[in-house]
Each structure stands twice: as C-alpha cells, then as structure tokens.
Structure 1
C-alpha cells in the first residue's frame, strides 16, 4: 500500500500570482507527488507565469473568471479526488511549506483517540517571524476552525461533510467547513510541531500611538464579505468559542481600520452593507 504522503495531492489557489508562486509550488512538490493549481485569474500574464509549471506533476486548472476562494479550492479538491488521491492539502499562492510539514500533519491525521477532521499547521507572522500566542504548544490539539492555507483533508471527511460552501465566495469559507466538520462529530487538529508563515491581507507596518502595528488593508469588497459571512455563520452555527475569538479579533482589526487605514468611509459602508445582507441571507 502507498504511504499516506504518496496519496496526498497539493492544491494551490492562484489569483494574479507573482513569481513567488513558482518557488512555493516547487517546495510543495518536495512533499507531494502532484499539485493542482487553480488559476482564478485567467489572463495572459497569469497563464504565462504558470505555463511552464504545467507537466506530469503539475496540473493547471484554468477558471473562466474569478470564481472565488470556495469554488476555486473545490475545483482543485475535486480534481485531486477524481485522480485517486486520498488526502488533499490546500494552500494560498503565497504560502511556503517547511521541511517535514506533511509528515507532521499526517502523524496528527493518524491519531486514533479522536475522530480526526481537518488538520493544519500552527501559524507564524510572515511580517515579524513571531509565532502567534494561540499557536504555541506541543503535539496536536483540538481547534474549532483552521485557516484554509495548509489545511489537510481526508477523502473520507470530504465524502461525509461535502466541500466548501461556494455561496460564501471568500472569507469565513474555512470557518464554515471547519465548523461543519465539528458539527458532524469530527475533531479538527492544530499541529504545533510545524509552522506556516502567514500574512493577513496586504499587511503593512503602521504606527498606532507609540506602537508599530501591522494593518491588513483589506479592500472594501473584502470588508463586505467578512461582515456578511460572519453574520451568516453566527446564524448557522450559533454562539461558541469560535465566534468569541473572532469578535475579539474583529474589534482589534477595526480599531486599526478606523485609525490607520486608507479608504475608511468605503470600508465602513461595505461592512454595513455586509451586515444587512448577512441578516437577510436565507440559505442558512
């Protein structure tokens, strides 16, 4: 029987990628036999940048338009499952795997004391190199929700709970599938012995009073979906630790938006429209 690593395919979601994606895909190929790149920006520049990566071990899945994060990841996951892989490992285009990451995730996936759901690495701030407080620990531990990038899914899990909710489009897509796994009786695991460098949005340093902070500078469109989808998920899954943690993060993020970021009126307006549409959303 093949080792689990040989049964794992990588999926990378590309949207107007930079040359950095080429390095990241090559690093991913040191740990998996095949990578499916979902090109969510079907323009000449993206095709040229990704073109010579196409080959026996890399498959480019061209989308007709930007179909969003959920549908983009689903396209890659379906292709991997159809190709016979039993595990799918998904990434944003700017995430780089570290040595031994897949082995660490698969060790957690093999735990028998819990019904294992989604497995993902701990996070380190790409801007500073600091490990987030919530990402310090040993071994692997239960967590309500994992971010998409670096998340490992088994075929058995996906056949049970389904793929990402494409109506969400972007933001909270990872929360939704994680919480659905938990609702179905699975335990999602964060693996502390491996780290993924992660960047929130177009993170840039800024001064807030006497401190240097990093601001995400999310666009008004992103603020709309974050606001809308937070409300949809709160209605879908109710109050819980995930929502308490998320609201704490949102309060800090909005303090930075209102004091330091550009286009503040547009972002506030977009967030308010998202709140309205989240309350009106019917397919909960």
Structure 2
C-alpha cells in the first residue's frame, strides 16, 4: 500500500510510433507513486491511439496531437496539460516513451522533496531536479549525462579548453546512488522534475519549434538564467533504453544531425552569450565535423550535408519540422518521438 502523497506529481511521456516501448514504460510508471500520467501521442500511426483509448487507469490522461511536433512540441503540450487549468500538479517529471523510473524513484522523490515549496520563484529557489539515467545494463547513459555550462564557470571553461567536453559533464561518481546532490546548469528531459513555480510562476515553457533535440538544454539554461537552481539528485534513478546514439555520438538515423546542429546554434548563443558566441559556435562546428569521421564512407557525405544545412538554418533562425528534409531527401525515415 502506497503512503499518502506529500505533493502532487504528474508524469509527462511523449510518444511517437513506439507502441511496444510505450506499453512497457506505461506499465512501469503506473506501478509507481504518481498522481497523473499525461501521455502525449505525436500523431502515431502504429495503433498507439487505439491502445491508449482502451486503458482504464484513472490516473491516465491522453493528449492526442493532430501532427507530429517532435519531442519539443510534445513536451510543451504535455507540460501545459499537466500544469495548466484549475488543478496544476506541484511537480512534473518529463521523459520519453523508451525511458522509465526505476522502482521506488517516485516514492523517494515524494519523501525527499516533501519540504520543498513547488511555487517558489525567488532567487536561488529550486526549480528543477535531474535523475541519474542509465542504460538497461546499468552503465551511464551518455546522452542524458547532466553538465555545467562552462561559459558560466571560469575554472570549468579552462578545464574544458584543455581536456575537452568531458570536463563540464558530471562524473560517474556524481551519478552513484549514494552521492550527494550537486548543482547543475543543464539536464535532459529524461527524469527531469520541474516545479510549478518555474512553469506557472515564471512562465517557463520548452520551445516547441525546436522539434527535435536541444529543447531540454535551452529550457535548462533559461531556467537557470531566471535565477532558479537546478540539482542532480542521484538517488532518483531512471533507465533509458535508447538506440539513438551510434558510435562516436553520431545520431541514428543520420537525418537527426540536422536538428542537432540547427538547434545547437541557439544553444551556443544562449550558453556563451553574444560576445563569445562566434568562438563557441566554431568550437561546436569542429566537434560535429569530427564526429562525421565515425560514419561509414558511404554515409559520411550525407552526415556532412545534414550538418551544414542545420548550421545554415540555425543561423537563419528557422524552427519547426523541416518537411523538405523528411519529404524528399529522407522520405523513408521517421522521427522517433
């Protein structure tokens, strides 16, 4: 028997054409101490809508979108549903359809967050918490490893210039279940707990037009710029059974690098500020270019093409789904959320 809730917690899950994964995730989530579960269906075509309509758990809320808005559009809609209206949740936790809380995570959150004010918006108030995320085999999920913004911390920037990107990421020791909480600047939308004060009090919303990738990074940076704190609570544990990243941090399928680079332009601008932005973007571009070497020779030219198109459109401020990309060059490929 679950203990009485100390604060209302709503889960927001975004899904697109991954019914098998959603079945497993939703089953695990509904076994946890959660008040509401908002599933955002990004116009799936694989029977997801019919399956969701047949579920009868009273905590389940289904938001059926008329078109695929990507992860960014899905999380924006889901957060609005969970935090809007007359009965907003005190906290929301965001994650994909191939991720789930490890047993007891939500109960631990309720216990450890019992004394937090979910409506606090003053300087230094805690506005977001990040869980430690691992693959099903227990190793750290690299794409969900939280980090600091090196441009806001001179010692971290110096270490990064000398030792590379790993210097601003949290360590494996920081992610151990018994490690203490620590401050963050950036966390991913897998096991991302956000307060009602951040969403309703300060009006912080994800940028839906990003479509795919970078929405969580930009949201984190804007939350921190608003004066709220963000912390890693490693006692909160999530599993992410993702196949998005291939060798060398190259996305699969390759069209995703377009969104990574397009939205990365805005990330570089917000992270570095207007003066340092050109140098930061040049650094990121070099990193992306080098990653292309991990592609097979026959796919390397496509990778580089997607990279340059993303950079161009990012500098032009383009947003939304690139229908030309999906409708012509990569017609067989479909976004995975």
Q: TM-score range by the shorter chain?
A: 0.7 to 0.9
Q: Say whether residues 1:190 and 2:238 are aligned partners.
A: no
Does the 8 Å CA contact 2:19/2:46 hold for their aligned counterparts?
Answer: no
Does the 8 Å CA contact 2:88/2:196 hold for their aligned counterparts?
Answer: no
Matches of 2:198 and 2:6, distance apart in 1: 15
Structure 2 runs not aligned, ≥5 long: 118-122, 143-169, 320-337
Matches of 2:129 and 2:44, distance apart in 1: 30
Equivalent residue of 1:197, what SS? strand
Q: Say which of 33, 36, 40 aligns to 1:34.
A: 36
Return the offset for 1:19: 1.7
Equivalent residue of 2:206, what SS? coil
Does the 8 Å CA contact 1:105/1:121 hold for their aligned counterparts?
Answer: no
Q: Say which of 149, 167, 190 aligns to 1:149.
A: 190
Matches of 2:102 and 2:289, distance apart in 1: 32
Deviation per CA, 1:112-140, whole angstroms, max 9, x where unpaired? 995212111112234x4223662432121
Return the offset for 1:282: 7.9
Partner in structure 2 of residue 207 of structure 1: none
Partner in structure 1 of residue 324 of structure 2: none
Partner in structure 1 of residue 71 of structure 2: 69
Partner in structure 2 of residue 88 of structure 1: 92
Partner in structure 1 of residue 173 of structure 2: 136
Q: Say which of 268, 271, 284 aligns to 1:237.
A: 271
Partner in structure 1 of residue 256 of structure 2: 222
Does the 8 Å CA contact 2:72/2:212 hold for their aligned counterparts?
Answer: yes
Deviation per CA, 1:137-169, whole angstroms, max 9, x where unpaired? 212111111100111111111121421011212
Return the offset for 1:232: 1.2
Does the 8 Å CA contact 1:161/1:180 hold for their aligned counterparts?
Answer: no
Return the offset for 1:89: 1.1
Matches of 2:102 and 2:46, distance apart in 1: 31
Partner in structure 2 of residue 122 of structure 1: 132
Partner in structure 2 of residue 208 of structure 1: none
Q: Say which of 293, 308, 311 aligns to 1:258.
A: 293
Matches of 1:22 and 1:168, distance apart in 2: 27
Matches of 1:54 and 1:179, distance apart in 2: 38
Equivalent residue of 2:89, what SS? coil
Does the 8 Å CA contact 1:135/1:192 hold for their aligned counterparts?
Answer: no
Q: Say whether residues 1:158 and 2:195 are aligned partners.
A: no
Equivalent residue of 2:14, what SS? strand
Higher relative contact order (CA 8 A, sep 6+): 2
Partner in structure 2 of residue 178 of structure 1: 220
Higher relative strand content: 1
Q: Say whether residues 1:15 and 2:50 are aligned partners.
A: no
Partner in structure 2 of residue 279 of structure 1: 315
Q: TM-score, normalised by structure 1?
A: 0.81
Deviates more, 1:155-164 or 1:217-226: 217-226
Does the 8 Å CA contact 2:40/2:77 hold for their aligned counterparts?
Answer: yes
Does the 8 Å CA contact 1:19/1:49 hold for their aligned counterparts?
Answer: no
Matches of 2:43 and 2:318, distance apart in 1: 30
Matches of 1:109 and 1:171, distance apart in 2: 32
Matches of 1:104 and 1:55, distance apart in 2: 22
Partner in structure 1 of residue 26 of structure 2: 25
